[in-house]
Amino acid sequence: MTYAQRLSLLHATCLAEAGGNASADLNDYDPLEAANYLACYLTFTAIRQAGRSPADERRDHFDMLSVYQTYAMLIYAYLALPLGNEGITPDVEGAPVVIAKTLFAGLSDEEWVEIIDAGSRKFDLIAEAEQEHWVDYRQDLDKLTVAFVVAGTDENAPFERSELMPVFGSQLSALCEAFVLD
């Protein structure tokens, strides 16, 4: 099974579990769309696991929405970059827009632009940071994302996807704490 097929399988599985209309034919799934879907799926799950409320934060701490955007973009990067080994180029321009519109459906265009811009700045800050805590954070989130793909596509995986979900929540909480401005 190729990595692209693994993403497609995981997309179909998560879509079916979420009550969506999933196809059994993996050719019906684009691997980049799968990466977008899974980045949003994992971010939504992490938000729930962390006990966070984007609706309240929209009103009381709007910048926190850009942290969620950053988190989703990090996951997207870890999901999509390996596709390059199979000749599939990640959509680094379009993915932030798709992710923002998925995570924050119902917001105005101006709010989306603000979230995408602030999230992109945070993403760049984290991606370029050389401080040990950011290097460790990137490595941990990368390993967690790979573990999720393995757990969802390999029946011999030593763990279940459900066991990883609280860790996604912890990773999101750590990122939120890093950007809290009191």
Q: What is Dmax (Cα atoms) for the chain?
A: 49
- The reply to whether the predicted model has a pTM over 0.85 is yes
- Res 182: pLDDT: 38
d(CA 146, CA 152): 10
Contact present, 161 and 147 (Cβ < 8 Å): no
* CB < 8 Å & 24+ apart, contacts of 110-118: 111/62, 114/62, 114/66, 115/65, 115/66, 115/69, 116/69, 117/66, 118/63, 118/66, 118/69
pLDDT of residue 126: 96
Give me the mean pLDDT over the 6-35 stretch: 92
* Least confident residue range of 5-9, 24-28, 91-95: 24-28
* 80-139 confidence digits (pLDDT tens): 999 999 999 999 999 999 999 999 998 999 999 999 999 999 999 999 999 999 999 999
Dist CA 88 CA 75 (whole Å): 17
- Residue 5 predicted with pLDDT over 80: yes
pLDDT per residue as tens digits for the range 129-174 = 999 999 999 999 999 999 999 999 999 999 999 999 999 999 999 9
Residue type, 159: F
pLDDT at 118: 97
CA–CA dist 95, 72 (Å, integer): 10
Instruction: Note the pLDDT of residue 159.
Output: 92
Instruction: Find out whether 68 and 45 touch, Cβ atoms under 8 Å.
Output: no
How confident is the model at residue 65, as a pLDDT? 96
Q: Residue 18: pLDDT band by 50, 70, 90 thresholds? A: confident
177 vs 105: CA distance, rounded Å: 24
Quickly state the pLDDT bin for 60 (edges 50, 70, 90): confident
